[in-house]
Amino acid sequence: MPIVLAAIDRPPSHSQLVYERLKQVLQNGGVSGGSLLSEADLARQLGVSTTPVHEAVVRLASEGFVEALPRRGVRVVHLAPRDIAEIFELREALEVEVVRLAVTRASNQDLSALHEFVASGQEALDRDDYPAFNQTDVALHDALAGAAGNRRLQQSINDLRVWVQRIRHAAAEQHFGPPSRPAKALAEHKQLVRAVQRRDAPTAENLIRKHISSLKDEILEHMSTHHIDFI
């Protein structure tokens, strides 16, 4: 007879907390690509010993976010145009599958709720509140991923998000693309939601492809025009 064990109820380890904090900073653009970090300095700022910081850094390095430099510290991995293109190509493939599944699997209630995210995006845009608009953008894509009913697909999108958000924050801070980009994104969201709610898979898939590839193209064009080698 198989053994049955009750879960141990205990708070996350310092290593896990440090890992989550550092990953959040990387995602939000708190440090730019190529920045050098000191484990001792990170430990001092976080109020922990260097051991959980080192464990978190090793984990982040295994995921490709940072790299250890002997006797120099830790360097945040920078993203070259090729990296950015690969990230957006992968995101496009995942999001197209999300839309395809959501059109066939989502409940009518799930589809009706999508309007709320578009409305919140419009309110944020009216206030010129880009961070709030970004949050509603993420929430809409999360809602679509949830409606698709595939947990592993949803997890893959979550795993990719730290890279996507880092690129988006860098693009916003360095003014990649035209000032009208958020308004264009909102218009694309409205079209996408209408297509998904009609359960029009071909149109929805085409719209999500254009939505993601247009941002990729704008970022890469800006980097090329302004001779930016990496972010």
Over residues 132-157, mean pLDDT: 96
Cα 197 to Cα 154: distance, rounded to the nearest angstrom: 20
pLDDT for the residue 178: 66
164-178 per-position pLDDT tens digit: 999 988 888 777 766
**Per-residue pLDDT reduced to its tens digit, 13-25:** 889 999 999 998 9
Mean pLDDT confidence for 19-48: 90
Per the structure block, which two tokens stand in for 82?
């090729």
CATH code at 81-225: 1.20.120.530
CATH code assigned to 14-76: 1.10.10.10
Burial class (CB in 10 A: 0-12, 13-18, 19+), 92: middle
Q: What is the pLDDT of residue 28?
A: 82
Q: How do the domains of the chain map onto residue ranges? A: 14-76, 81-225
Q: What is the mean pLDDT of the chain?
A: 91
Asked if residue 144 lies in contact with residue 99, where contact means CB atoms within 8 angstroms, the answer is yes
Q: Which range has the worst mean pLDDT, 8-22, 34-48, 97-111, 200-214? A: 8-22
pLDDT over threshold 60, residue 68? yes
Reported for 172-176, long-range contacts at CB under 8 A and 24+ positions apart, including other chains, are 172/130, 172/134, 173/29, 174/222, 174/228, 174/231, 176/218, 176/219, 176/222, 176/223
pLDDT at 78 over 60: yes
Residue 8 pLDDT grade (very low, low, confident, very high; cuts 50, 70, 90)? very low
Residues 90-103 have pLDDT tens digits of 999 999 999 999 99
In the prediction, which pLDDT does 157 show? 96
pLDDT class of 2 with cuts at 50, 70, 90: low
pLDDT at position 85, please?
97
